[in-house]
Structure 1
Amino acid sequence: MLLALSVRRPGSANSLTPTQATLLINRENAQLIDIREPNEYVSGHLSDSRNIPSESLAERAGELEQFKDTPVILVCQSGARSSAACSTLAKLGFSKVHSLAGGTVAWVEAGLPLKKGARK
C-alpha cells in the first residue's frame, strides 16, 4: 500500500500537490487549465488540459463558465503564475479554483506524464 503525505505551506490554501490534483481530477472531474504561453504548452502539458494563457484568462473566462462550481486546477511551469491567476478566476465567481504547486516541474518529478503537441 502506498501512502502519500503532503504538507501545505502557509498561505497556499488553494495549492495542490500532484497527488492531490490527480485525486481531484479522478474523483471530481476537475478541469485543467494550462495558463502558459502556447509554445510552452505544446512542449509538454497535462493530458486533457486546455491552454488559456494567463494574460487572456479574464477575457476568455466565458469559455469556462460551465465550470464555475466545478474544481478548476490552474497549471504553469513552476506554480507561480497559476497561484497568482487563481485570484482572477475567484473574482469572476469561480468557487473551486486551485493551483498545481510546483507546476509541470513538480508533476514530472512525481513521475507523472506530460503530453506534447497541441490538444486534440
Structure 2
Amino acid sequence: MRTIIFIISVLFLHGKCEQDQTIQDEKRPFEIPLLEFESVVKSGNALVIDVREPDEVYEVRVDAKNYVNVPLKQVGSSLQLSAGEFEKTYGVKKPSLDDDVVFICRSGKRSLTALKEARGLAFERSQHFVGGHLGWIANHPDLVVREKEENEKTRRKDEF
C-alpha cells in the first residue's frame, strides 16, 4: 500500500513540475538584451511602451515601429482599460495578455517598475530594456526621434 501511495505521489509531483515548467516557458525574462530590443524596434513585433513623462519623450525617444508613451503613473490603469478605450486614449492597439511588450524609460528603473506592474496584471510576455534611452542612444544614435530639435528647426525656417 505504501508503494502505491509513493508512486501516486511521485506521478502527481512530476505532473505538477511539468505544468510549472510550461507556465514558466510562457513567461519572458524580465530584461530584453540590446540585440533583441534592436530587432523589436525595427520590426514592430512588440509594443514598446515608453514610461517617461511627455516632456522627456519630446526631447528624444526610440524610433520604434510599434511605440506608445504611457507615463509610469498611468501604466497600471492603462493596461486595465478596454481595448477601445486604450486605443482611443493612446492611439495604438492595446496589447493582449499574449502580446510581447517592452517597457523603456531613461535608464531602466521606471521601466522595471512598469514591468512588475504589468506582470502583476498577467502580462507575462512583458519585458524591459534595462539600458533605457541612455543605453539605446549610446548604441543607436541613428534610431531615435528628436522632436524638440525638429520643431525648433522648423520654427527657425518659418521665421525667415
TM-score over 0.5 (shorter chain): yes
- Greater mean deviation of Cα atoms: 20-29 or 103-112: 20-29
Aligned to 1:59, the other structure's residue is in SS state helix
Aligned to 1:33, the other structure's residue is in SS state strand
Structure 1 Cα separation of the partners of residues 53 and 119 of structure 2: 21
Residue deviations 1:31-57 (CA, integer Å, cap 9, x gap) = 100000000011111124210000011
Unpaired segments ≥5 residues, structure 2: 1-28, 87-92, 149-160
8 A contact 1:34–1:53 mirrored in 2:
yes
Structure with more relative contact order (C-alpha pairs < 8 Å, separation 6 or more): 1
Root-mean-square deviation (CA, aligned residues, Å) is 2.1
For 2:20, the equivalent position in structure 1 comes to none
Structure 2 Cα separation of the partners of residues 92 and 73 of structure 1: 15
Normalised to the residue count of structure 2, the TM-score between the two structures is 0.59
Query: How many positions carry a matched residue from both structures?
Result: 106
1:116 and 2:146 are equivalent in the alignment: yes
Residue deviations 1:81-102 (CA, integer Å, cap 9, x gap) = 1012101111112121111111
For 1:38, the equivalent position in structure 2 comes to 54
Counterpart mapping for 1:1-120 below 5 A = 13-25=29-41, 29-48=45-64, 49-61=67-79, 62=81, 63=86, 65-112=94-141, 113-117=143-147
The amino acid across from 1:116 in the alignment is: R
The amino acid across from 2:106 in the alignment is: Q
Unpaired segments ≥5 residues, structure 1: 1-12
The amino acid across from 2:103 in the alignment is: L
